[in-house]
Structure 1
Amino acid sequence: MYRKHYIKDFKRFITLYLFFILGIMALNAQVNPNTYYQCGWQFDFPIKSDFSNKMNDLGLYVDAGYYFTHNISLGGFINVNTQYDDVTRNVTNDNTSTSENIEETLSYISVPFGASLRYRFIHDTWWQPYVSAKVGFNYAEAKSTMPLDTYSDKSWGFYVSPELGINIFPFKKYLLGINLAAYYAYATNKHDVSSRQVNGLNSMGIRLGLAF
């Protein structure tokens, strides 16, 4: 019950913060037309994870950059992913050789951030497809919570993510648009939590948000 309330409050805070960032991005985008800003929701799907294969509960992304030419830009990014999974674990008592099922809550939080290079195929139309490469670092925390014990492990790793996306501007002057993207991500983070070992993170996902 406590975990549900925590997740609900966390989502409310992040949503309000996202709208605050949206306002700042909208203002900055009007001042300098060579800049771009994107932010929204991120749906992340782990690939063959030894920790949990459940889709993230909350994912947010923020991208920003500057076009040095009509097609090429340099920028930065930051993402936030939270993942919770309730599982049943079979535990054996070494003294009595008996086993019992114990409810276990797995949580994983990752925050990748770094630099991005983007190539935009078309720049002067209402739809603008692009490809980008993101490179940086990933901070992550893995946690296992059981009735009597809690285990956690934090780590830093390198992060790389190619992305294919499109910005769609349905209004005149391209002031506000929709961002759609698909990506693959890999991070070198390693964890050892309650007999669960993580040796690198692989995931695929989609992003849906706004573009300025």
Structure 2
Amino acid sequence: MTVVLILEPRWDLGVFASFHSNHQYVERQTLQLSPTESLTTDQQRSAFQVPFGVVANYKLWDGKHFVPYIGLKAGTMFARNTTYYGVKGLYDKAWGGYVSPEIGFNIYPCKNKNWGFHVAGYYSYGTNKTYTLTSEINGQNNAGFRVGVIF
């Protein structure tokens, strides 16, 4: 969710908050935990991310029905990474910095621009550092495509 305030004809400034989740199933394997310990199991790995902060958008061209822009979101992110195996699970959570540049456009079918459609591509990076059953996660990044309705 993003709430923006129009500062000048070309600039928007606001706040945002999001929720992202990623899940991966890992087939059964034997993991060497130490020189004297091993574990044979399958795993479900889950990553939950909650970034929030400020957003700034610059309109490249302010047309009647088509408005392309570039934007930047910056703030902080809470992340929780979990590895489920058998009936147990290990999780680690951390806070980190967050930055997300994006490029997109808005399409307004009506003259008054009360509502429209939103299309954007983005990349995001969080500095969170967490540990799972078999690895260390140092930074989390995502690339995505967003389509929605604006009003």
Q: TM-score, normalised by structure 2?
A: 0.90
1:71 corresponding residue in structure 2: 10
Q: Deviations over 1:48-86 (max 9, x none)?
A: xxxxxxxxxxxxxx1111111110121111111011211
Which residue in 2 is equivalent to 1:171?
Answer: 110
Structure with more of its chain in helix, by fraction: 1
1:93 is displaced (CA, Å) by 7.6
Identity %, equivalent residues? 31
Q: How does 1:140-159 map to 2 (within 5 A)?
A: 140-159=79-98
> What secondary structure sits across from 1:173 in the alignment?
coil
Structure 1 distance, partners of 2:134, 2:125, is 22
Amino acid aligned to 2:103: L
Identify unmatched segments of 5+ residues in structure 2. Answer: none
Q: Does 1:110 align with 2:49?
A: yes
8 Å contact 1:108–1:141 — kept in the other structure? yes
Total equivalences in the alignment:
149
Within 5 A, what are the aligned runs for 1:47-196? 62-91=1-30, 101-196=40-135
SS of 1:174 mapped into structure 2: coil
Matches of 1:189 and 1:139, distance apart in 2: 8
The Cα of 1:116 is off from its aligned counterpart by 1.1
Structure 1: segments with no counterpart, 5+ residues? 1-61
TM-score by length of 1: 0.65
Secondary structure of the structure 2 residue equivalent to 1:198: strand
Report the aligned-residue RMSD: 2.1
| More strand by percentage | 2
**Residue by residue, what CA displacement relative to the aligned partner does 1:114-135 show, whole Å, maximum 9, x if unpaired?**
0011111233411111111111
Distance 1:69 1:88, change over 3 A: same
How far apart, CA to CA, are the structure 1 residues paired with 2:120 and 2:31?
45
